[in-house]
Copies of this chain bind each other. A is one copy, B any other.
Amino acid sequence: MAGKQVPVSPLAPKRLAELPPIAGVKLATAEAGIRYTGRTDVLLVTLAQGTTVAGVFTRSKCPSAAVDWCRDNLGSGTARALVVNSGNANAFTGLKGRASVKLTAEIAARAAGCKTDEVFLASTGVIGEPLDASKFDGVLQDCLKRAAPEPWHEAARAIMTTDTFPKVATATATIGGVPVTINGMAKGAGMIQPDMATMLSFIFTDAPIAAPVLQGLLKRGADKSFNCITVDGDTSTSDTLMLFATGEAAKRGCPAITETGDRRLAGFRKALDGLLLDLAQQVARDGEGARKLVQVSVSGAVSAASARRVAFSIANSPLVKTAVAGEDANWGRVVMAVGKAGEPAERDRLAIRFGNIRVAVDGERDPAYDEAATTAYMKRSEIEIGVDLGLGTGRATVWTCDLTKAYVEINGDYRS
């Protein structure tokens, strides 16, 4: 990526959503020269006093130093600053990595006038290179001076690595009749099969919601969004999804929510879930080398968990993904991927469709199979692969992209 101009994914949203300010949130970006030159690579977000926080992180056994740091500090439930850098993941950097996150938090805490355990950190980029946190000194202090409520697009750009477009989304909801706003950003294009969260995604709201409630909302929302996408089946060491709630809407009469079961959360939950799914799909749309977005819908499984495993078996199959890239309605490879998933399946009950075109039923090719119509469908930029296992009521939907030569090219020389 560094220096090389990669064309924007053809699956990018037609226009970047405009994000309104969120009371209590200010942002600034800078060029710290971590790895890239001529582009921003640091984001500082400051958060009003009383901001609550929730986070879900990678299940990798080799998490980054920043993930360890965030997990350790999530207990207090409060946040005052978020520092994100691109260009270096600070993962697998041993004691140096731990020293680096500590120094970064100290610099940010001094600048923001808060405690170090109220500073949250995320890093993305190359794994295994020590991150020189002294590069943040001066830079973060300067960011603090410039921090403002507006630069959401700049923030989303500063955290990109191989992404070809910034990923943002906004939503509104009411709590107790008072409107609140949710803004979010995400980055990620490769090493994407989040297993708790995605590469990096940060969500902000002015709603006054207690940290434990926030955590429940985020966990459930992630399971239906970021945990339903894959680019290459590779799970990052740095997956981080955080939700910050400044509570500033309380000043406008918004009731404080302290119980998970509070019915007044219904609208907020729905808006949050929609925003998370939007961002997650944007990540799949920017899958490295992607030319097609693929929705895999599995029904008729013995359980939702089983449906999900079958769906991921299809979505991660290199043979299915290359067939989609080649615009080849090769449904035999879908059969293969169902068969290898290890989940209950009966060949002779299986039905497969591409979009609304049923191609296979009762364990063999649909008697009405229309090759020309199917081939025409495969030329679309958004493809749905539907599988019905015919066994039960379990269903799941996941999203992925095709596997093109560009993926190989991008990843054959990302580091060097």
Q: Which residues of A contact B (CB under 8 A)?
A: 58-63, 89, 91-97, 126-130, 190-191, 193, 195, 232-237, 316-319, 322-323, 325-326, 328, 330-333, 335-348, 350, 360, 362-365, 403-405, 407-409, 411-416
**What are 13 contact pairs spanning A and B, CB under 8 A?**
A60-B336, A62-B338, A62-B347, A92-B364, A128-B332, A130-B364, A190-B319, A232-B319, A233-B318, A235-B339, A328-B412, A328-B416, A407-B408
Residue contact B341 to A61, C-beta cutoff 8 Å: yes
Question: Given A129-B365, A343-B61, A411-B318, A91–B237 Cβ distance below 8 Å?
Answer: no
Q: In the complex, A62 Cα to B350 Cα: how many Å?
A: 9
Residue contact A61 to B415, C-beta cutoff 8 Å: no
Contact of A127 among B332, B345, B413 (CB under 8 A): B332
Q: In the complex, A91 Cα to B348 Cα: how many Å?
A: 11
Question: Given A319-B234, A347-B63, A332–B89 Cβ distance below 8 Å?
Answer: yes
Counting every copy of the chain, the complex holds 2
Residue contact B412 to A323, C-beta cutoff 8 Å: yes
Interface majority SS on A: helix, strand, loop or mixed? loop
- Nearest 3 pairs between A and B by C-beta? A127-B332, A326-B412, A94-B364
Residue contact B128 to A413, C-beta cutoff 8 Å: no
* Closest beta carbon of chain B to A105's beta carbon, Å: 20
Chain B residues closer than 8 Å to A360, beta-carbon distance: 92, 128
Residue contact A339 to B60, C-beta cutoff 8 Å: yes
Chain B residue with the shortest CB-CB distance to A233: B318
Question: Given A326-B411, A408-B325, A412-B328, A234–B336 Cβ distance below 8 Å?
Answer: yes
* Closest beta carbon of chain B to A101's beta carbon, Å: 14
Question: Given A325-B408, A325-B412, A412-B325, A94–B348 Cβ distance below 8 Å?
Answer: yes
Chain B residues closer than 8 Å to A93, beta-carbon distance: 364-365
Q: In the complex, A394 Cα to B194 Cα: how many Å?
A: 28
Question: Given A317-B234, A416-B328, A336–B408 Cβ distance below 8 Å?
Answer: no
Residue contact B96 to A319, C-beta cutoff 8 Å: no
Question: Given A326-B412, A365-B128, A411-B326, A339–B61 Cβ distance below 8 Å?
Answer: yes
